[in-house]
Amino acid sequence: MQQVAILGATGSIGKSTLDVIARHPDRFKVHVLTANTAVDELAALCRQFRPRIACISNENAAIELRRLIQDSGLNTEILTGPDSLVQAVIQPEVDCVVAAIVGAAGLAATLAAANAGKRILLANKEALVMAGPIFMDAVRASGSILLPIDSEHNAIFQCLPYENSRTLQQKGVRKVVLTASGGPFRQRQRDELSRVTPDEACAHPNWVMGRKISVDSATMMNKALEIIEAHWLFDASSEQIEVVIHPQSVIHSMVEYADASVIAQLGNPDMRTPIAQALSYPDRIESGVYSLDLASIGTLTFERPDMDRFPSLRIAYEALAAGGTAPTIMNAANEIAVAAFLNLRLPFLRITDVIEETLSLVDVATIRCLDDVLIADKIARECATNLISELKVNAA
């Protein structure tokens, strides 16, 4: 029986994970559930799954959650405060940590899980984008098992041989190919995007996701983050990582081998498939996802990404080449810019402008420890915030 901690239980990944777990009560037990501010949702999940620990972000929310838990007659301990997530994941009873908190907020807890040697199901791109060197060092040093549940990286993982100790070259791999849907604006020209709204940007054609990650898909920053994530997960160079637009989101990613064979992982666009694969690895379990009907789909199409229309991909390759804290700076600036766009404080097309300007203004440093990451993150956020404020002043 695996004891599972779910970081970000009320988000789309958390809910999909709980759906899979509920189908296999003989294999999985929820030990920890966490949420940011969704008290009622978290309380309802606690009543359903009866975790030993629940975490919520602030004390006022914790007071309300404790009341709801007490009224339900549950024996769930409520943790809150800046260290609560770390305290939760390092519990000796926890076998598996599902890292599904969007953004930098989940970094410390995910790194703590790696240091504690937990089995980590990684949906939080930022842990690797921001702190790839120290995160992977922690995984190797502790013997942690790291399994990606992003659909693209999980697909690549499934297409690679099981032996993780060998390099891509030793496995005979020429390159990994990340597929991208192209998001809601795939067929729009750049000059048509100046007035798009948050609701338009969040209307993904294939996937149901949170608002931040939906905007990232619309700018293709989601794929940019995945380029850097693929570098760390698979020890792949920039030249070994390719992106191709695949609007149907049926092929989730591919691996090309030295003999020109290409192996792809296909499936309906439902996050329960990669989650079930990682939860049960190396076994396979039922996920609740409908079987893929290729005959009804009919046609699968592919396009090269337009890096002029969607410069996020170029920015990611440049940040990867710069190394050090450059990806940290990129991620921090993106989080600030996306939040400003969602709050109607920044036009859609200026999101990537803010990221590039922040990268040009903030010095790139070597990453030796977590403090180096956190300092770069803080400076980049302040820089991006100032740039957005200046834009508003100039626009006025």
At the second CATH level, the architecture of 323-396 is: Orthogonal Bundle (1.10)
**The pLDDT of residue 356 is above 80:** yes
- pLDDT tens digits for 308-347? 888 999 999 999 999 999 999 999 999 999 999 999 999 9
- pLDDT tens digits for 287-296? 999 999 999 9
- Position 358 scores a pLDDT of 98
The continuous run of DSSP H or E covering 97 comes out as strand 96-99
Same fold, 2-148 and 323-396: no
pLDDT (mean) for 338-366: 95
**The pLDDT of residue 396 is above 50:** no
User: Partners of 3 in the beta sheet?
Assistant: 29
Residues 6+ apart with CB under 8 A from 39: 56, 61, 64, 65, 68
At the second CATH level, the architecture of 2-148 is: 3-Layer(aba) Sandwich (3.40)
Domain extents in the chain: 2-148, 156-268+300-309, 323-396
**The pLDDT of residue 203 is above 80:** no
Mean pLDDT of the chain: 91
Token pair for 390 = 């200046």
**The pLDDT of residue 395 is above 70:** no
pLDDT (mean) for 229-248: 95
Residues 6+ apart with CB under 8 A from 31: 3, 4, 5, 51, 52, 53, 91, 93, 94
What is the C-alpha separation between 141 and 136, in angstroms, rounded? Answer: 9
**The pLDDT of residue 241 is above 90:** yes
pLDDT (mean) for 361-385: 95
- pLDDT tens digits for 23-42? 999 999 999 999 988 999 99
**The pLDDT of residue 148 is above 80:** yes
Q: Ranked by mean pLDDT, which of 196-200, 213-217, 382-386 comes out on top?
A: 382-386
- pLDDT band at 217; cut points 50, 70, 90: confident
**The pLDDT of residue 99 is above 60:** yes
Q: What is the DSSP letter of 364?
A: P
Q: Ranked by mean pLDDT, which of 49-58, 157-166, 195-204 comes out on top?
A: 49-58
pLDDT (mean) for 227-253: 95
Q: pLDDT: is 128 or 163 the higher one?
A: 128
pLDDT (mean) for 373-388: 96
- pLDDT band at 298; cut points 50, 70, 90: very high
Lowest mean pLDDT among 206-220, 233-247, 248-262, 307-321: 206-220
**The pLDDT of residue 214 is above 90:** no
- How many CA within 13 A on the CB side of residue 277? 22
**The pLDDT of residue 394 is above 60:** no
- pLDDT band at 169; cut points 50, 70, 90: confident
- Position 361 scores a pLDDT of 97
Classify residue 363 as exposed, middle or buried by CB count within 10 Å of its CB (0-12, 13-18, 19+): exposed
- Position 80 scores a pLDDT of 92
Lowest mean pLDDT among 158-167, 195-204, 349-358: 195-204
**CA 188, 194, 197: angle at the middle one, nearest 5?**
90
